[in-house]
Amino acid sequence: MTLDQLAIGREAEIIAVGGQGGLRRRLLDMGLTPRTKVKIRKVAPMGDPIELTLRGYELTLRLEDAKKIEIEEL
């Protein structure tokens, strides 16, 4: 399952971060690392972007990037 498929209010743990080069580095730098717990807070009216809570802060992420993050729902 990938992060873009997680329902609002549900919590999951990151298993792997995909992507290549600068994109992968940017995702990791934002705190989206394996074994991190994330929760979907809200989704924009048109469905993109999504707002996540992780490590005590909120992060907005495009669906295109969320598709590269593999998760396991808790």
pLDDT digits (tens, 9 = 90+) for 30-45: 999 999 999 999 999 9
For residue 62, the model assigns a pLDDT of 94
For residue 47, the model assigns a pLDDT of 84
For residue 19, the model assigns a pLDDT of 85
Q: What phi and psi, each to the nearest 5 degrees, are found at residue 2?
A: -110, 165
Strands of the 69-73 sheet, one edge to the other: 57-61, 50-54, 37-43, 11-17, 69-73
For residue 29, the model assigns a pLDDT of 93
pLDDT beneath 70: ranges in the chain: none
For residue 40, the model assigns a pLDDT of 94
Q: Domain 3-73 carries which CATH code?
A: 2.30.30.90
For residue 12, the model assigns a pLDDT of 96
Q: Is 64 left (phi over 0), alpha (psi -120 to 50) or beta?
A: alpha
| Domain limits, the chain | 3-73
* CB distance 66 to 18 below 8 Å: no
